[in-house]
Chain A
Amino acid sequence: MESSSKENKVSKKGENNKLKSRNMPGIQKKQRLIAICVLFFCLLNFPILTIFNVNKYIGGIPILYIYFIAIWLIMIAAIMFIIEKRDKDGIDEI
């Protein structure tokens, strides 16, 4: 009796994993977006900002100002790229 119930549990787990793996594209998308959030949070915070926190200009425009706008736009492009990319099998559930 015991052994058979154990087997049952094992096989159930296997099935659960299968079910989960069918949601992979959604989970991957989610993880990528979290990674983007963390990365850009670091890029737009101290201590990284100290690198660009200098009283210098490129083409008359302060370096820090250029850095802010550029990183901001890159982040938006990254979000757009990840979220608008079509999943192969169209599964969006998370």
Chain B
Amino acid sequence: MNSIVLGIVSFLYLGGLFVVAYWAESRTDKGKSLVNNAYVYALSLAVYCTAWTFYGSVGRASTKGFDFLTVYFGPTFVTALFWFVLRKIIRICKVQRITSIADFISSRYGKNKSLGMLVTFLCLFAGIPYISLQLKAIDSSFAILSGIHSSGYVFTDHTFYIVILLSVFTILFGTRKLEATERHEGMVFSIAIESIIKLVAFLVVGSYVTWIVFDGMGDVFMKAQKLQDSHKIITFSTEKDESTWFWWTILSMAAFMFLPRQFQVSVIENVNEKHLKRAMWLFPFYMVLMNIFVMPVALSGNLIFQGQNINPDNYVLAIPLHFSNEFLALSTYIGGFSAATSFIIVETIAISVMVSNNLLMPTLLGIPLIKNLISLYPSNFIQGIRRFSIIAILFLGYFYFKNVGEKYSLVSIGLIAFVAVAQFAPSVIGGIFWKGGTQKGAMSGLIAGAVIWFFTLIIPSIINAGIFPESILKEGLLGLSFLRPFELFGMIGMDSISHATFWSLFFNIGLYIFVSLFSKQTSIEHNQAVLFVDVFEFSHSNENSTIWRGTALMKDISSLLTSFIGQTRSDRVLRLFANRNQINLKNKYADPKIVNYTEKVLAGIVGTASARMMVSSVAKEEEISVDEVIDILKKSQELMAVNKELQRKSDELKVLTEQLRAANEQLQLTDKLKDDFLSTVTHEIRTPLTSIKALSEIVFDNPDMEFEEKQHFLNTIVKESDRLGRLINQVLDLEKFESGKLRVTVEPIRVDELILDSIEAIEQLAKEKGITIKKVIYKNIPKINGDRDRLMQVLVNLLSNSIKFVEPKKGIITVTAYPQESKVTVNINDNGMGIAPEFHELIFDKFYQAQDQTIRKPKGSGLGLAISKKIIELHNGQIWVESELGKGAKFVFEIPLN
């Protein structure tokens, strides 16, 4: 392929990256962030998969078999613990305004300057070769595709121009804001897009090799069986393989979270802790997809290029080229390019923040002359330093690649970096779960780990480069046989990476624990230890949990802040904080809380150690003893516990009050109902009573009344007394139902008999009025369980209601009964005056008719339907009416079987 075309494609791709990042940033400025999204977060974590994954895994698999997988299994085990470990780290970083892994360790162990420097140095030593490795991948993929091995240096080398573009991108989207705690949304979004590109590219080339070049995965593996040593690739053949497997898994578990790029995207760029949930399974799944074709492609490469001198790291590109599929080769090139660039961008930002905040700033601030210079234009200065670091890191990577990097395979440089980063694990994990870890412990552990890493992995590579004599490897340093880099203290039987991992972590963890146990913390160390370990308890009221005592002029503090973030912002920030905590800003001396807060804001810009140096330069600090710190923290913790308890109690009270209120409302309602009920009952009783009284008085006053007339009056009196009696019985019934005293006596009943009996009871009344009663009863209705007398009461009541409301002579009443799935339904239809829909529910209320005399003339107590409803409900059934004015009424009730 033409190298010019390839160059143009590469530059166009980078241009696209600029556009994407710029677009994402402008969305953020408009408040429509694209990055506040769990999927984008999960994809950005995939920056883990670099060119090492894209090219190197295949290379490793084709010669050594499965051990490349450990680098993905380790992180998968760790993601299971994200919710428990990483979430805590994220919370701590947000609360403490921590900007990098170096800052984290330095802040945890008493805001110690030297610890931050040590971590930064390790990251630099591990990171620069790692960056050069990515450049190497870009360069060699370019060479393979174009067929031109670029032998040029700097201006004649296309990689040089790519490095320039990458530094422009990183500076533009990585140092836009002064605060290193600010998220870089444009950068994160473009990383997420690159993650998609590299995955798709790899899946496409993998599918091509597996299904187009070969006939499926089975075919590849079967053919590969004929290869010499194939069993060594698809199985573990030696004991060394087993120990490699174990130690590499441990190594990638220890390193995964603390790789500078990983810490940057997973902690610093995290928008919302909840995004972790999605990422915890999506990210490992991404890794599965990324690795699924590695083995088939590796074996295919071995088959196709059998006996040819082709670097297995380049199989993914060489295979499509071999079959002259240039387009596919190009898309694969783009995938590898995106894997490499995403790594370079994030790693450079992460390390540049460390270099500026933990290495350069604290050093420069320690020199009085420079310190005065900085204080003139602090913000320009810091940004300048950060940009300078970015350029320096990228070009150091470039020169490393040009001079040293060409000698190593992708995987070995990556693993060497892993061992360096794994050294942070003891101090970080210990630091967030164990308050006893001390600065001296962390320092000695880290130094020991770093020294062993350097001796067992870096010295041999320098020896390989021919700088040191080879005798060191065989005879040991200074001729001491126990100081052989690959067999330290005479331990044999491990590969160099496992060997280095074991010894460095052994000394690191051991010294961290033992020195911590035998050394004392200063007050600030203890303070930080508590704030880190108990972050979830303190993070709510965190603003005031750092203990500081001393005096500082308010003027000095505010001018310090102003010089970094400008007059307007510093005024606003201080005012808001003062309002929240009720502090008077007009006082001559600054409140300790203000001093603390200022330090924290500055820490987000220049790093914890430098912020502390700057604040202490304007403030006179008093020493506080560890006991005091412990005491104050304990008190505030107790206070918080009491607060929590109070909150809980007040919540409980709220619930109780709510319940009480509801109960009260219910009571008032019942009370009102009772009043209504009483007044209607008395009203209903008074009507017959009045007529009885009036008629008896007439009879009494007229002793010579005619017999017939007297008979008539007395008859009415008897009728009215009956009505009164019925009413009282019904009231009593209803009362029994409502108080739940009345229980139904359940027996199996035949529905047809029940209906016939009811009709018989009421037939006489119907005949008198000339009303026809029809019945439609289905056969085979199953027996229902119920109280026979009560159900008959319902039927009689409904029937007599209908008789009352149909026109005499013309009235037709139809009773229908039929079974349904799990119930029996009975309908009583009439052709009477009907009931308007709005009253369909009301008529089942007590004395409803009494409340609305216009609908129906009272001919009963008004309790019949209410009682019927109660009875049906007691049978777990339902009763309702379907009707319209003038179209008759249909009363329906259902009784469930069983």
Chain A contact residues, CB within 8 Å of chain B: 15-16, 19, 22, 29-30, 33-34, 36-37, 40-41, 44-46, 49, 53-55, 57, 59-62, 64-65, 68-69, 72-73, 75-77, 79-80, 83-84, 93-94
Complex interface: stretch among B284-292, B374-382, B725-733, B827-835: B284-292
Chain B contact residues, CB within 8 Å of chain A: 66, 69, 73, 76-81, 83-84, 87-88, 216-219, 221-222, 231, 234-236, 242, 245-246, 249, 277-278, 280-281, 284-285, 288, 292, 295, 536, 641, 644-645, 648
The 4 closest A-B pairs by CB, nearest first: A60-B218, A80-B281, A37-B80, A62-B234
In Å, the complex CA distance between A22 and B647 comes to: 13
Given A19-B641, A33-B81, check contact A54 B235 (CB 8 Å): yes
When the two chains form their complex, are residues A46 and B246 in contact, meaning their CB atoms are under 8 A apart?
A: yes
When the two chains form their complex, are residues B280 and A83 in contact, meaning their CB atoms are under 8 A apart?
A: yes
When the two chains form their complex, are residues B76 and A75 in contact, meaning their CB atoms are under 8 A apart?
A: yes
When the two chains form their complex, are residues B217 and A29 in contact, meaning their CB atoms are under 8 A apart?
A: no
Residues of A within 8 A of B69 (CB): 68
Residues of B within 8 A of A55 (CB): 231, 234-235
Most chain B CB atoms below 10 A, which of A33, A44, A62, A69: A62
Interface of B is mostly: helix
In Å, the complex CA distance between A59 and B220 comes to: 12
In Å, the complex CA distance between A11 and B281 comes to: 42
When the two chains form their complex, are residues B648 and A62 in contact, meaning their CB atoms are under 8 A apart?
A: no
In Å, the complex CA distance between A57 and B231 comes to: 11
In Å, the complex CA distance between A61 and B277 comes to: 34
Given A15-B645, A68-B69, A83-B277, check contact A41 B235 (CB 8 Å): no
User: Among the listed B231, B234, B288, which residue makes an inter-chain contact with A69, where contact means beta carbons less than 8 Å apart?
Assistant: B288
When the two chains form their complex, are residues B83 and A64 in contact, meaning their CB atoms are under 8 A apart?
A: no
CB distance from A24 to the nearest CB of B (A): 15
In Å, the complex CA distance between A36 and B80 comes to: 7
CB distance from A15 to the nearest CB of B (A): 6
CB distance from B241 to the nearest CB of A (A): 9
Residues of B within 8 A of A84 (CB): 277-278, 281
When the two chains form their complex, are residues A19 and B81 in contact, meaning their CB atoms are under 8 A apart?
A: no
Residues of B within 8 A of A44 (CB): 73, 249
When the two chains form their complex, are residues A76 and B76 in contact, meaning their CB atoms are under 8 A apart?
A: yes
Residues of A within 8 A of B285 (CB): 73, 76
Find the A residue at minimum CB distance from B73. Answer: A44
CB distance from B565 to the nearest CB of A (A): 33
Residues of B within 8 A of A46 (CB): 242, 245-246
In Å, the complex CA distance between A76 and B648 comes to: 37
Residues of B within 8 A of A57 (CB): 218, 221-222
Find the B residue at minimum CB distance from A71. Answer: B73
When the two chains form their complex, are residues B644 and A64 in contact, meaning their CB atoms are under 8 A apart?
A: no
When the two chains form their complex, are residues B234 and A64 in contact, meaning their CB atoms are under 8 A apart?
A: yes
Residues of B within 8 A of A37 (CB): 77-78, 80-81
In Å, the complex CA distance between A16 and B637 comes to: 12
CB distance from A34 to the nearest CB of B (A): 7
Residues of A within 8 A of B292 (CB): 69
Given A34-B84, A37-B80, A80-B281, check contact A53 B288 (CB 8 Å): no
Residues of B within 8 A of A94 (CB): 83-84, 87-88, 536
In Å, the complex CA distance between A41 and B87 comes to: 21
Find the A residue at minimum CB distance from B278. Answer: A84
In Å, the complex CA distance between A33 and B80 comes to: 6
Given A34-B84, A49-B236, A64-B234, check contact A19 B644 (CB 8 Å): yes
20 contacts between A and B (CB under 8 A): A15-B645, A33-B80, A33-B81, A37-B80, A41-B249, A44-B249, A60-B217, A61-B217, A64-B235, A65-B66, A68-B66, A72-B284, A75-B76, A75-B80, A75-B284, A76-B76, A77-B281, A79-B80, A79-B280, A79-B281
In Å, the complex CA distance between A94 and B90 comes to: 14
When the two chains form their complex, are residues A65 and B83 in contact, meaning their CB atoms are under 8 A apart?
A: no
Residues of B within 8 A of A59 (CB): 218
When the two chains form their complex, are residues B234 and A65 in contact, meaning their CB atoms are under 8 A apart?
A: yes
CB distance from A41 to the nearest CB of B (A): 5
Residues of B within 8 A of A68 (CB): 66, 69
Find the B residue at minimum CB distance from A27. Answer: B84
Residues of A within 8 A of B219 (CB): 60
In Å, the complex CA distance between A57 and B77 comes to: 27
Find the B residue at minimum CB distance from A84. Answer: B277
When the two chains form their complex, are residues B284 and A79 in contact, meaning their CB atoms are under 8 A apart?
A: yes
CB distance from B820 to the nearest CB of A (A): 37
In Å, the complex CA distance between A55 and B234 comes to: 7
In Å, the complex CA distance between A30 and B84 comes to: 6
Residues of A within 8 A of B234 (CB): 55, 62, 64-65
Residues of A within 8 A of B236 (CB): 49, 53
Residues of B within 8 A of A53 (CB): 235-236
Residues of A within 8 A of B81 (CB): 33-34, 37
In Å, the complex CA distance between A65 and B641 comes to: 52
Residues of B within 8 A of A19 (CB): 641, 644-645, 648
User: Among the listed B66, B78, B245, B281, which residue makes an inter-chain contact with A76, where contact means beta carbons less than 8 Å apart?
Assistant: B281
User: Among the listed A45, A60, A65, A83, which residue makes an inter-chain contact with B281, where contact means beta carbons less than 8 Å apart?
Assistant: A83
CB distance from B52 to the nearest CB of A (A): 19
When the two chains form their complex, are residues A72 and B76 in contact, meaning their CB atoms are under 8 A apart?
A: yes
User: Among the listed A62, A69, A77, which residue makes an inter-chain contact with B221, where contact means beta carbons less than 8 Å apart?
Assistant: A62
CB distance from A71 to the nearest CB of B (A): 9
Residues of B within 8 A of A65 (CB): 66, 221, 234, 295
When the two chains form their complex, are residues B218 and A49 in contact, meaning their CB atoms are under 8 A apart?
A: no
Find the A residue at minimum CB distance from B231. Answer: A55
CB distance from A20 to the nearest CB of B (A): 11
Additional 13 contacts, C-beta under 8 A, given A62-B235, A69-B288, A76-B284: A15-B645, A16-B641, A19-B645, A37-B77, A40-B77, A60-B219, A62-B221, A68-B69, A72-B288, A77-B281, A93-B536, A94-B83, A94-B536
In Å, the complex CA distance between A41 and B221 comes to: 27
Residues of A within 8 A of B277 (CB): 83-84
CB distance from B487 to the nearest CB of A (A): 22
CB distance from B215 to the nearest CB of A (A): 10
Find the A residue at minimum CB distance from B279. Answer: A83
In Å, the complex CA distance between A49 and B121 comes to: 38
In Å, the complex CA distance between A45 and B73 comes to: 10
In Å, the complex CA distance between A62 and B648 comes to: 58
Find the B residue at minimum CB distance from A33. Answer: B80
When the two chains form their complex, are residues B84 and A60 in contact, meaning their CB atoms are under 8 A apart?
A: no
CB distance from B856 to the nearest CB of A (A): 52
Given A60-B217, A72-B76, check contact A49 B280 (CB 8 Å): no
In Å, the complex CA distance between A15 and B641 comes to: 10
Find the A residue at minimum CB distance from B234. Answer: A62
Residues of B within 8 A of A29 (CB): 83
Find the B residue at minimum CB distance from A46. Answer: B242
CB distance from A92 to the nearest CB of B (A): 8
CB distance from A51 to the nearest CB of B (A): 12
Find the B residue at minimum CB distance from A78. Answer: B80
